Amino acid sequence: MVIGIIIGCALFLLASFYVVKFIQKERSKPQKPKKEKKKKSKIAPKETVVKNVHITVKSPYMQRKEVLFWKYLNIILPKHYIVIPKVSLVDLFIPDGDKSIFRLIADKTLDYVIFKEQDMSVALVLDIYDKSYGDEMLDEQDPFLLEILAKLNIKVLSILVANDFDRESCKDKIYSALGLNVASDSEKKNSTSNVENK
């Protein structure tokens, strides 16, 4: 009888040992990642995975206000100027020496850069912002970045776009910053009447 109890206990311990081993083995297996529910959209975003990095095409690339302002700039600027939106600092500046400070601003972009077409030198940087709190909030540039641009003698003009902007005032400011003359309404009328009189 005692031998039967000892054998029964030994079998119970042996079974318990294998059950614990089985549980440990199951827990150590890599868990399958849970599938996230994708947001349903009419147009599926373009995406891929490259070396364990999930990449999705940014959409939209520019906010509606930014696109409208960019179109406006292309209308008012003389032909020997080119305006490029969303210019990365990495593409614009060449750091030399200790790059730790440059890394603080390297990932930033400038809203619009106006280049002189002749040599593609920077003529003016435009920083647009609004003071709304919504889907299309545009922030002002980092003061540290503005300080660096000032030290590089790059003019920066900040323009409030909000829901709309004063186009004539904006044109005057941009032309003034570029050193261009803006014909006033009376000058435009005089030049038009002079042409008609001839």
Structure confidence by residue, pLDDT tens digits, 135-159: 445 566 678 888 888 888 999 998 8
Residue 177 in contact with residue 124, Cβ under 8 Å?
yes
Cis peptide before 33 (omega within 30 of 0): no
φ, ψ of residue 131 to 5 degrees: the values are -115, 25
In this prediction, residues 120-142 reach a mean pLDDT of: 73
Gyration radius (Cα) of the chain, Å = 32
In whole angstroms, what is the distance from residue 173 CA to residue 176 CA? 5
The answer to whether the predicted template modeling score (pTM) of the entire model surpasses 0.85 is no
In whole angstroms, what is the distance from residue 184 CA to residue 189 CA? 9
Asked whether the predicted pLDDT for residue 171 surpasses 50, the reply is yes
Cα dist. 176→21, 112, 149 in Å?
79, 17, 18
Residue 56: its pLDDT value, please?
81
Residue 44: its pLDDT value, please?
53
Helix 167-178 × helix 64-76 angle, to 10°: 60
Residue 122 in contact with residue 156, Cβ under 8 Å?
no
Residue 16: its pLDDT value, please?
77
Measured between its terminal Cα atoms, the distance across the chain in Å is 132
Closest to 62 in 3D by CA, of 90, 86, 88: 86
Tokens of 12: 């119970």
Closest to 168 in 3D by CA, of 78, 69, 76: 76
**Each residue's pLDDT tens digit, 3-58:** 878 887 777 777 777 777 777 776 666 666 565 555 554 555 677 888 888 888 87
